[in-house]
């Protein structure tokens, strides 16, 4: 494909390969995204991008979408955004303001768990993940949810699962020794162990197709609320800052340690609603894989890391607590909307 063809493909909404539909910036949701997206759809320049984020809350739609769009430039990007924006100083300065506010709101929502010492990380992680007493979205999905609700759930999850494992991969070059080997072992599974069709993101695409959903990357970015984006933004925040590497691996451990049972329930729910084995494979796979990943993440990754970096042991727990808190807020949001007879998505 020539450069001219690639530009035409972008304009026509096809990706540079001509096969993938383009991922484009969604519609702005307020003054922050309006200002940011107006600039991102033009070539990069040196003038500042002034964003007022003083009052933004954790689930703020406008705020979270702005931060998500900044981070997305480090992943697959957007076809209508010049790739040079990724490292453009005005964009980085604007992102820093968004991150400062996001870190403030996270810190206000998530108390730092107590920790007796770095040797206690393993036990503290177990207690933290066992204590999770939020509303059970997985129980609802397994027993009571209708097909439309299950489809909504999958749409929310697509924001992360279509790039599953990518945010935690940022930790690999920041670790060494046993914790690094442990993380690579987990990530190798997440990425299919050398088989593209076994990548967890690909298994999830099959789940989406089984439910009659668009499985292309970013297809539903415009439909999900701020709290869904906040889940991904926390991972990217931890992933893109070396100083937060302790929080990043704690975050991963919390996901792995709270995965097996919910995934078993999702598989039951999907089959109850008529899903076949191909559609349910993503969930079946996680019941098996995460029972193993849980051990590797908790012991080989986090416990060893905390022993070698005792000053970051508290961050490991904090990252785990952030993951659990955001999941809980998200589940409360979705179940609250469904309880009220409403969709949990934007622009129904």
Binding-site ranges for Fe ion (CB under 5 A): 190, 200, 256, 290, 293
CA–CA separation, 231 and 185 (whole Å): 24
- Nearest partner of 201 among 167, 235, 175, 248, judged by Cα: 167
Tell me whether residue 190 or residue 202 sits nearer to Fe ion (CB atom).
190
Tell me whether residue 56 or residue 281 sits nearer to Fe ion (CB atom).
281
> To the nearest whole angstrom, how small is the minimum distance from the Cβ of residue 290 to Fe ion?
4
> To the nearest whole angstrom, how small is the minimum distance from the Cβ of residue 297 to Fe ion?
8
Tell me whether residue 34 or residue 188 sits nearer to Fe ion (CB atom).
188
> To the nearest whole angstrom, how small is the minimum distance from the Cβ of residue 72 to Fe ion?
20
CA–CA separation, 84 and 71 (whole Å): 14
Q: How far separated are the first and last CA of the chain, in Å rounded?
A: 37
CA–CA separation, 320 and 325 (whole Å): 9
> To the nearest whole angstrom, how small is the minimum distance from the Cβ of residue 292 to Fe ion?
8
Tell me whether residue 202 or residue 256 sits nearer to Fe ion (CB atom).
256
> To the nearest whole angstrom, how small is the minimum distance from the Cβ of residue 312 to Fe ion?
22
Tell me whether residue 95 or residue 168 sits nearer to Fe ion (CB atom).
168
Cβ atoms within 10 Å of 174's Cβ, excluding its own: 18
CA–CA separation, 178 and 88 (whole Å): 36
């Amino acid at each position: 494909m020539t450069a001219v063809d690639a530009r035409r493909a972008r304009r026509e909404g096809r990706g540079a390969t001509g096969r993938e539909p383009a991922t484009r910036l969604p519609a702005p949701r307020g003054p922050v995204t309006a200002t940011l997206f107006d600039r991102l759809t033009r070539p990069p320049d040196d003038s500042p991008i002034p964003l007022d984020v003083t009052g933004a809350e954790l689930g703020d739609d406008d705020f979270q979408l702005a931060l998500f769009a900044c981070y997305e430039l480090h992943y697959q990007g957007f076809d209508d955004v010049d790739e040079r924006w990724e490292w453009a100083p005005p964009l980085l300065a604007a992102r820093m303001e968004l991150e400062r506010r996001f870190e403030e709101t996270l810190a206000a929502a998530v108390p730092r768990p107590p920790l007796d010492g770095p040797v206690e990380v393993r036990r503290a992680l177990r207690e933290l993940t066992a204590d999770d007493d939020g509303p059970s979205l997985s129980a609802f999905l397994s027993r009571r949810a209708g097909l439309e609700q299950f489809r909504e759930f999958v749409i929310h999850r697509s924001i992360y699962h279509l790039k599953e494992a990518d945010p935690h991969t940022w930790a690999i070059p920041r670790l060494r020794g046993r914790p690094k080997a442990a993380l690579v072992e987990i990530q190798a599974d997440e990425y299919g162990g050398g088989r593209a069709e076994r990548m967890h993101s690909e298994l999830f695409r099959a789940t989406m197709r089984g439910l009659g959903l668009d499985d292309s990357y970013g297809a539903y970015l415009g439909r999900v609320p701020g709290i869904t984006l906040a889940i991904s933004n926390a991972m990217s925040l931890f992933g893109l800052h070396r100083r937060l590497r302790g929080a990043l691996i704690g975050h991963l451990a919390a996901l792995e340690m709270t995965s097996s049972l919910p995934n078993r329930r999702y598989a039951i729910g999907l089959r109850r609603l008529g899903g076949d084995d191909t559609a349910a494979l993503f969930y079946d796979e996680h019941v098996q894989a995460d029972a193993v990943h849980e051990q590797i993440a908790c012991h080989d990754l986090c416990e060893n890391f905390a022993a070698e970096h005792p000053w970051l042991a508290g961050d490991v727990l904090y990252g785990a607590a952030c993951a659990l808190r955001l999941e809980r807020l998200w589940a409360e949001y979705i179940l609250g909307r469904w309880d009220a007879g409403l969709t949990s998505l934007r622009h129904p």
